[in-house]
Amino acid sequence: MAVSLVILTTPDDSPMRRELSVAPGTSILKAAHAGGVDVTATCGGRGRCTSCRVKFVAGTIPPPTIMDEIQLGDDLVREGYRLSCQCAVTEAITVQLAPPLEEQAFQILGAGPGVAGLGMRIDAGIVKELVKVSLPREEHHQTSDLEQLAAAVGVAPETVAPSVLVGLPQALRDDPSGVTVTTFSGARAGRSVIAVERGDTTAMKFGLAIDVGTTSVVTTLIELESGEQLASISSLNPQAVFGGDLMSRIAFAQFNPTNLRKLHTRIVGLLNQHVAEVCRASGVLPQWIYKAVVVGNTCMHHLLLGIDPSHVGLAPYAPVMRHAAVLAAREVPLKIAPEARVCLLPLVAGFVGADAVAVALATRLADSPALRIAVDIGTNGEVLLGSRERLLACSAPAGPALEGAQIRHGMRGAQGAIDRVTIDGDVRVHTIGETPALGICGSGLIDLLAGLLDARVIDWTGLIRVEARDSLPPALRDRVTMRGEERVFTVLRPGEAGARGEIVLTQDDVRQVQLAKGAIASGIAMLLHVAAVPLERVDELMLAGVFGNYLSIPSAIRIGLIPALPLPRVRYVGNAASLGAQLCLLSEAERGRAEGVAARIEHVSLAAHPDFEQLFVDAMNFPRGSA
Q: Which amino acid is at 125?
A: G
List the one residue out of 550, 553, 446, 547 whose CA is nearest residue 218: 547
Burial environment of residue 423 by CB neighbours within 10 A (0 to 12, 13 to 18, 19 or more): buried
Kindly compute the dihedral angle of the four CA atoms of residues 329, 330, 335, 338, in this order, to the nearest 10 degrees.
80
Nearer to ligand FES, 4 or 65 (CB): 65
Residue 36 C-beta: closest distance to ligand FES, Å: 17
Q: Does 404 bind ligand FES (CB under 6 A)?
A: no
382 by DSSP, 3-state: which?
Answer: strand
Q: Which residue is nearest to ligand FES (CB)?
A: 85
One character per residue 359-398, x = contact with ligand FES (rule: CB under 6 A) = ----------------------------------------
Q: Does 89 bind ligand FES (CB under 6 A)?
A: no
Beta-sheet pairing, 391-396 with 602-603: parallel
Contact 56, 40 (CB under 8 A): no
Locate all alpha helices (DSSP H) within 230-297, ordered by sequence. 246-253, 257-282
Residue 35 C-beta: closest distance to ligand FES, Å: 16
Residues 6+ apart with CB under 8 A from 281: 108, 230, 231, 233
Residue 403 C-beta: closest distance to ligand FES, Å: 15
* 367: number of Cβ within 10 Å: 14
One character per residue 6-35, x = contact with ligand FES (rule: CB under 6 A) = ------------------------------
Could you tell me which stretch among 13-21, 40-48, 125-133, 511-519 binds ligand FES (CB under 6 A)?
40-48
Q: Does 215 bind ligand FES (CB under 6 A)?
A: no
Nearer to ligand FES, 27 or 180 (CB): 27
- Sole binder of ligand FES in the list 32, 83, 150, 519 (CB under 6 A): 83
What span, in angstroms and rounded, lies between the C-alpha atoms of 302 and 312?
Answer: 9
Residue 120 C-beta: closest distance to ligand FES, Å: 43
Could you tell me which stretch among 37-45, 347-355, 384-392, 532-540 binds ligand FES (CB under 6 A)?
37-45
Q: Does 85 bind ligand FES (CB under 6 A)?
A: yes
Nearer to ligand FES, 31 or 268 (CB): 31
Residue 83 C-beta: closest distance to ligand FES, Å: 4
Peptide bond into 316 cis (omega under 30): yes
Nearer to ligand FES, 71 or 506 (CB): 71
Residue 346 C-beta: closest distance to ligand FES, Å: 33
Nearer to ligand FES, 42 or 395 (CB): 42
Contact 275, 291 (CB under 8 A): no
What span, in angstroms and rounded, lies between the C-alpha atoms of 354 and 337?
Answer: 24
What span, in angstroms and rounded, lies between the C-alpha atoms of 452 and 449?
Answer: 5
List the one residue out of 408, 412, 415 whose CA is nearest residue 437: 415
- Dihedral pair phi/psi, residue 492, rounded to 5°: -135, 135
What span, in angstroms and rounded, lies between the C-alpha atoms of 375 and 371?
Answer: 14
Radius of gyration of the CA atoms of the chain, in A: 27
Nearer to ligand FES, 52 or 209 (CB): 52
Q: Which amino acid is at 307?
A: I
Contact 47, 248 (CB under 8 A): no
Nearer to ligand FES, 44 or 545 (CB): 44
Q: Compute the residue count for the chain.
A: 627
Nearer to ligand FES, 50 or 220 (CB): 50
- Dihedral pair phi/psi, residue 599, rounded to 5°: -70, -25
Residue 273 C-beta: closest distance to ligand FES, Å: 24
Q: Does 512 bind ligand FES (CB under 6 A)?
A: no
Nearer to ligand FES, 73 or 548 (CB): 73
What span, in angstroms and rounded, lies between the C-alpha atoms of 297 and 23?
Answer: 37
Interface with ligand FES in residues 41-60 (CB under 6 A):
41-43, 45, 47-49, 51-52
Nearer to ligand FES, 85 or 538 (CB): 85
Contact 249, 239 (CB under 8 A): yes
DSSP assignment of 178-191 equals -EEEEEEE-SSS-E
Cα dist. 443→254, 402, 410, 417, 449 in Å? 33, 8, 11, 10, 10
Residue 85 C-beta: closest distance to ligand FES, Å: 3
Residue 363 C-beta: closest distance to ligand FES, Å: 35
* Secondary element (H or E) of residue 107: strand 107-109
Residue 436 C-beta: closest distance to ligand FES, Å: 27
Nearer to ligand FES, 41 or 615 (CB): 41
Could you tell me which stretch among 36-44, 221-229, 233-241, 506-514 binds ligand FES (CB under 6 A)?
36-44
Residue 462 C-beta: closest distance to ligand FES, Å: 22
392 by DSSP, 3-state: which?
Answer: strand
Q: Does 87 bind ligand FES (CB under 6 A)?
A: no
What is the total count of residues that contact ligand FES (CB under 6 A)? 12
Residue 97 C-beta: closest distance to ligand FES, Å: 12
Beta bridge partners of 197: 180
* Secondary element (H or E) of residue 613: helix 612-620
Nearer to ligand FES, 41 or 374 (CB): 41
What span, in angstroms and rounded, lies between the C-alpha atoms of 609 and 588?
Answer: 37
| Interacting residue ranges for ligand FES, rule: CB under 6 A | 41-43, 45, 47-49, 51-52, 71, 83, 85
